[in-house]
Amino acid sequence: MTEADQGNILPVILCGGSGTRLWPASRESMPKQFTPLVDPTTSTFQSTVRRVADPAVFAKPTVIASAESRFIVAEQLAQTRIAADILLEPERRDSAAAVAVAALHAAGRGPETVVLIMAADHVIEDAAAFASAAQHAARGARLGQIMTLGITPTRPATEYGYIRTGNALPDAPGLHRVERFVEKPDAAGAERLIGEGALWNSGYFLFRADVMIAELETHAPQVLEAARGALAHAATDLDFVRLQAESFARAPKTSIDYAVMERTTRAGVLAVSFAWSDVGTWDAVWQVLERDARGNAVRGRVELVETTGSLVHS
C-alpha cells in the first residue's frame, strides 16, 4: 500500500437489500440494486461503483453482498471494468454487522483508514459533487467524528428519516454535530422538520476504522465480536471472501443507526444539496426519471391514452 492509498477514502458498498417494495422488477433472485431501474443500461450498483472510481479520491472499493448475489456482483463489476474486493455475507444480519465487517476489514490497511459506507441502490447523478462532499466530510472523520451526509430536502418526504443539526464542529468548517436523528415522520411532521432546517438522512457514513471499532465495542459489542470472528475465519473462494457463517450468525440483527449512530457522541453531519434518491418505492423511481409534459415517465414500448402522472414499464 502506497502513501497515496493511505490518504484515500475506502468506499464500502453494501448490497444486502432485497428491495421488495419494487416487486416485480426487484425480487429475491435479482434485487433492485442490480436492475436497470433508472438508467436503461446500467444498474444502480454499477452507477455506485463508477461514482467512486476516481483513484485520486478513492481507494479500491470493497463490496459486501449476500452469497446468493456473488456472481451478479462479479459480472456487473466486470462490465464496469472496475476491480473491487468482494466480501460475502452468509445471511442477512442488517447494516450493523456489515459496517462492523467493513471497519475491521479497513483496519487491516491501517487503523486510521477513512471508510465511506454507501448503499448500492441510491441515485446520485452528480458524481463530482458527491466526491467533493465525501472529501469534505472525511475531514471530520479524520478528526474522530462519524460523519454522515445530510441531504437538503426538496419536499416534505415521509419516506426518509431526518437529521437535526447541532453546533459547528471545531477545526472543521462547514461540518456540524448531529443534534438528533428523527424517525420517518408523518406529513405534518415532515413539514415542521423542513421548516426547522432539518436534513434528510442519506445513510452515508464516513469514519476512521479505529473510531467505528471503538464505538461498536462500547455500544454493540456482540455485533463487533461476531464480525471479528466471521472475518478472522473467512475463506477465500475464487475472487470472493466468504465470511464464516457460524460467527456471523451470532451478530444481533440490527441497523448501524440503532446500534451506534443514535447512541454515539461522535455523530457529525455535512449538509449537501445534490439531487439524491434511495429509489425505495415506485413513486421514488417516477420522481427521478425524465417525464413528459403530462408528468408521465415511460420505459420500453408504451402507448399512452389520456394518462397523466404515471410510471409505465413495458
pLDDT in tens, 215-248: 999 999 999 999 999 999 999 988 899 999 999 9
**pLDDT > 70: what percent of the chain?**
88
User: Would you call 76 exposed, middle or buried from its count of C-beta atoms within 10 A (0-12, 13-18, 19+)?
Assistant: buried
Q: Which pLDDT does position 302 carry in this prediction?
A: 81
Confidence of residue 165 (pLDDT cuts 50, 70, 90): very high
The mean-pLDDT minimum among 15-24, 242-251, 303-312 falls in 15-24
Q: What are phi and psi of 300, to 5 degrees?
A: 90, -165
Regarding predicted confidence, which is higher, 14 or 16? 14
- How do residues 101-124 score in pLDDT, each as one tens digit? 999 999 999 999 999 999 998 889
pLDDT, mean of residues 42-62 = 94
pLDDT value, residue 5 = 43
The mean pLDDT of the chain is 89
pLDDT in tens, 133-161: 999 999 999 999 999 999 999 999 998 99
E-strand ranges in the chain read 10-14, 62-66, 85-89, 114-119, 146-151, 162-168, 175-182, 199-208, 235-237, 240-242, 267-272, 297-299, 311-313
pLDDT surpasses 50 at 4: no
- What pTM was estimated for this model as a whole? 0.88
What pLDDT does residue 309 have?
74
Query: 85 or 32: whose pLDDT is higher?
Result: 85
Q: What is the mean pLDDT of residues 75-81?
A: 95
pLDDT at residue number 239:
87
